[in-house]
A and B are shown apart, each in its own frame.
Chain A
Amino acid sequence: MPEQLVFAMEVTLNGLMTGVMYSLVALGFVLIFKASGIFNYAQGVMALFAAMTLVGIQDGRVPFAHIINEVLGTDIHYFGWEVPALLAILLTVLVMIGFALFVQKFIFRHLVGQEPIILFMATIGLAYFLEGVSDLMWGSEIRNLDVGLPQGINDTIDQVTFEIFGYGFFIDNLDLWATGIAAVLVAGLIAYAQYTKNGRAMRAVADDHQAALSVGISLNYVWILVWSLAGIVALVAGIMWGSKSGVQFSLSLIALKALPVLMLGGFTSIPGAIVGGLIIGVGEALFEFSIGPLIGGATENWFAYVLALVFLVFRPQGLFGEKIIERV
């Protein structure tokens, strides 16, 4: 097999795994957008906040230590205990549910029926607010996140591919795990939406508010639910990216990666978010591998957007959206 093709296979595999992560972030957007028509600009900051909270709880940091010390004249920073990863994750989930309750009660409940652009602006405000809260609670230094996921090259894949191709693929264990977990989460979400009472209510609200109300569904409850789920998705995304490159402000920029995925997959389609994420993950990896060297590299920064734009011109409704036919 030609050497270039083997390299391309490795690149594709890695691209697929990055793509699953993009899908995951995009899914957070889709959940909220479908149910409430809100494009949640804060989704990326939610991932940052969730990851910061997780690390903070794990390390036993005192939240708002800076303010507390300032006001009381104390100098405390740690409780002096460490919380096991699993428990810390559960506690962080609770924090994200609390955040969902807060967002619904204090912001979006008061904005029902407003123009989408107003709702969008509100989420921009929310993003900066949450960033500030995150800084106040946990500080803004870069943190290491370690929930015990294995890291480093996967030896089995390395050996097997070496025997077949005479070249060992470099696949990171962390990427493998991240892909697996993301896949399970996505499958779980789909099953949840399909078969449970809450999931059915979610789909109903996504389809028609008036009809949902008439069968006894509380919109408020469903909105809290989707914000909670989006918070959990943000936490998982935060764990994956944070484990790889540390928890810091740039983590919130993963939201920017989800945007082209949404343009490709459509803002309301769960399958669209998944397939869109995979296409962009593989597309940008292959493009960087094949064309990148010719034009000086770093094509990942813009390729996804160009791909999405080209796509948008030909299929404005996204991969799985119904064709939009203008009524005249």
Chain B
Amino acid sequence: MNEMSPDGYTTEDGRKIGGVVMEMRNITLRFGGVVAIKDISFDIREGEIRAIIGPNGAGKSSMLNVISGFYHPQEGEVWYRGARRPAMKPFQVARQGIARTFQNIALFDGMTVLDNIMTGRLNHMSASFIDQALWWGKAQREEVKNRRVAEEVIDFLEIQNIRKTPVGRLPYGLKKRVELARALVAEPSILLLDEPMAGMNVEEKEDMSRFILDVNDEFGTTIALIEHDMGVVMDLSDRVVVMDYGKKIGDGTPDEVRNNPDVIDAYLGVAHD
């Protein structure tokens, strides 16, 4: 089996990639006169790490915003688990099990790290107000479970020592990690990461790469990520979409993309100006 097989394939390092879970069909997104996305189609498979790369302003974040319901394309369709998805609000997309982080970090600055992470569990709370007010069985069990998941993720991302720190006081790199933690506790089936390593030093980048690989490996989470740094992307991802000026100029395995003349042009062009 290879990347083209409808039922999926097995990667070189032995991970099983499943069928298509999300598909973008002929997406076009405009802001007034600016065409941020021009007729782009691609798919994301169950269990894979899918990267979107391209120069600044290429439309990568816009694409992630379309997937997560923050932007609504003028043309095209989003297919999720074999069905066409109607126009959805971001909170509805989140409730379908699609979690995300933002390029410019959106945390609750007034809350502690732990409280921030706990908000990621909100959709796993169902106890009624009465249950909660009287602290009855269901509310209690839920809270215990939610706390446990939060603590597991905190351990996993090695942020135990800042659990009680107000998020506003953290350095940039740690904020990015907390944001990832909040997305992870939702136990998403798809995780969308917008430049998770931007602005980080080498060591932080290595940590973040390891976390991303581990999340994918241990929990089988499908990951779509945007990254600027070609090197990092090539190491992490199974397949790569390349965007430039709102258009898709390449799509395939890292090797295929690396040798694609259009991609080379786009990146060299960037390097030259």
What is A's interface to B at a CB cutoff of 8 Å?
A: 195-198, 200-201, 203-204, 206-208, 210-219
- CB of B87 closer than 8 Å to a CB of A: no
- A231 to B102, alpha carbons, bound, how many Å? 35
Decide if B122 is an interface residue (CB 8 Å cutoff). yes
Query: A218–B92 Cα gap in the complex (Å)?
Result: 8
Among B40-48, B125-133, B153-161, B236-244, the stretch in contact with A: B125-133
When C-beta atoms are compared, the residue in chain A nearest to B110 turns out to be A207
Q: Is the CB of A201 within 8 A of B111?
A: no
Contact in complex: B107, A208 (CB < 8 Å)? yes
Interface centre among A204, A211, A216 (most CB of B within 10 A): A216
Specify which chain B residues have a CB less than 8 angstroms from the CB of A213 in the assembled complex.
70, 89-91, 94
Interface flag for B186 (CB, 8 Å): yes
Q: Measured between C-beta atoms, what is the minimum distance from B115 to chain A in Å?
A: 8
Contacts of A200 in B (CB 8 A): 118-119, 122
Alpha-carbon gap, A247 to B99, bound state (A): 50
Q: Binary interface profile of B, 79-116, with partner A (CB < 8 Å = 1, else 0)?
A: 00000000001111011000110100011111100000
Select B89's contact among A201, A204, A211, A218, beta carbons within 8 Å: A218
Chain B minimum-CB-distance residue to A209: B106
Partner of A214 from the list B90, B125, B132, B133 (CB cut-off 8 Å) is B90
B123's partner among A198, A210, A215 (CB-CB below 8 A) is A215
Q: Output the residue of B68, B90, B123 with the most chain A CB within 10 A.
A: B90
Rounded to whole angstroms, the CA-CA distance of A196 and B118 in the bound complex is: 12
The 27 sampled A-B contact pairs (Cβ below 8 Å) are A195-B132, A196-B133, A197-B125, A197-B127, A197-B132, A198-B129, A204-B108, A207-B108, A207-B109, A207-B110, A208-B107, A208-B109, A210-B70, A210-B102, A210-B106, A211-B106, A211-B119, A212-B119, A213-B89, A214-B68, A214-B100, A214-B106, A214-B183, A215-B120, A216-B91, A216-B92, A216-B123
In the complex formed, the residue of A with least CB distance to B127 is A197
CA distance A210 to B92 in the complex (A): 13
Q: Complex: how many Å from CA A207 to CA B92?
A: 20
CA A86 to CA B35, docked complex, whole Å: 60
> Measured between C-beta atoms, what is the minimum distance from A240 to chain B in Å?
24
The smallest beta-carbon distance between B117 and chain A, in angstroms, is 10
